[in-house]
Structure 1
Amino acid sequence: MRPRWQVTVSTTREIPMKKLLLLSGLTLALGAAHAGTWTFTYQGFERDGTFDPDYKLSGSFSGDDQDADNVIELDELTNLVLEGQTYVGPDNGSGIEYTADSFSYTPTGTLQFTSRYIFRDVRYLWGSIVSGDHIHHASYHIYTGESYSSTAYWTGQTTFTISPPPVPEPASFAMLGAGVLLLGARQWRQRRPRRA
């Protein structure tokens, strides 16, 4: 009787060792951040002391991990849009100054950014979005004195979705690559001529 833990692999064609090594290297490389465009949504925020499950912050960004450190940072962004406004990229001509002060995204799904905006004419408009903390909007009219302020806070119930979806942790890819290498070593041992 065969032990339960024994695995039998049968193939009709053996894979050369060079191809197995190439495959494992490619698999590990896929875990790295790369050029692309992502869309994301945070949903469910605390507003005026009450959790609002329908309140959303949606956005998108494009970038390229030019230094291959597995993180897309502010200087590697080509575009960042939050709530329909462009914070990194071509000016929309509105006269409102939109700025991103920090940004990082790892392909495992960790997104962090700090942004703000300001506009001055007969009104002052200003606000900030700090991921993981708050979304703040405010305005003040110089002549009428009318003002407005609204802040929404991230909570433990806030959900985050991003597309394309995050890739597994690099450790998962390393385990997959190690498995491919072990399979290759097993094949090599089986093909090696046995000594008499």
Structure 2
Amino acid sequence: MLKKICYIATLASLSLGAQAQEHQYFNFFYTGFVNDGVFNPHIRYGGSFSGKDLNNDGVLTTNELTSMVALDVDYTKCAAGPNCTLDFSFDYKNGLSIAAHYYYDNAPHFETWSERNFNTGDSVYRYAANRESIPFSRLDYFSPQTQLQVLSAVPEPGAYAMMGLGLVALAAMYRRRKYVIHPGLVA
């Protein structure tokens, strides 16, 4: 029985590892921006992206994305055109490059407006307005001190293998303890 559990755990960990390599999920964070001419190390913008490297060149590009979320917009899901554009590239050697633009208004009534621009190395811009409130606008610039952090949102295949080994060890301990009579249980 223990051998069967070991085989199942090994096969499961290998298949999960292969799956993680096929489709990649990442979270990213930029920290430290210039606002009104002053560098603020606490301003932070982030997002997430996922996709498959279809041509196996080690670079994830716009047409290989399944999702790219920044500033509360999934740029792969909004309608392509002048109101929503995305130019994207990511690899571990050259880093992350995003040029994303989103604009929304509820024409023909024009009661609400929203615009978001995310351009790595340049700026992050947010604007929102409606007829009943004061418009909100914020422009933050990248600086040489801006830090990028990209995190894999899925555990590496090695983590699945370690999980499988841990489950095998737990099964072995359970089997061993199953036959031991505990002194507190003897009447």
TM-score tier after normalising by the smaller chain length: 0.5 to 0.7
Q: 2: CA distance between counterparts of 1:98 and 1:160?
A: 27
Task: Tell me the equivalent position of 1:99.
Answer: 84
**Aligned residues: CA RMSD:** 2.7
Q: How many residues align?
A: 127
| AA matched with 1:130 | N
TM-score (norm 2): 0.59
Match of 1:51 among 39, 48, 51: 39
- The alignment partner of 1:66 has SS state of coil
Secondary structure of 2:93's counterpart equals coil
Determine the structure 1 residue equivalent to 2:58. Answer: 70
Q: Is the partner of 2:63 in helix, strand or coil?
A: helix
CA 98–62 in structure 1, closer or farther in 2 if over 3 Å, else same: farther
Higher RCO (C-alpha 8 Å, min separation 6): 2
Deviation of the 1:131 alpha carbon: 1.1
Contact 2:78 2:84 in 1 (8 A): no
Equivalent position amino acid for 1:78 in 2: T
For 2:137 and 2:101, how far apart are their aligned partners in 1? Answer: 15
Q: Percent identity?
A: 24
Contact 2:29 2:150 in 1 (8 A): yes
**1:74-127: per-residue Cα shift (whole Å, max 9, x none)?**
000001111333222489xxxxx9734200001335100111111213122212
Which structure carries more helix by proportion?
Answer: 2
In the TM superposition, residue 143 of structure 1 has moved relative to its aligned partner by 7.7
- Contact 2:71–2:116 at 8 Å: present in 1 too? no
Alignment correspondent of 2:115 = 126
Q: Tell me the SS of whatever aligns to 2:57.
A: coil
Secondary structure of the structure 1 residue equivalent to 2:43: strand
Change in Cα spacing, 1:64 to 1:43, as seen in structure 2 (3 Å) is same
CA distance in 2 between partners of 1:98 and 1:40 (Å): 24
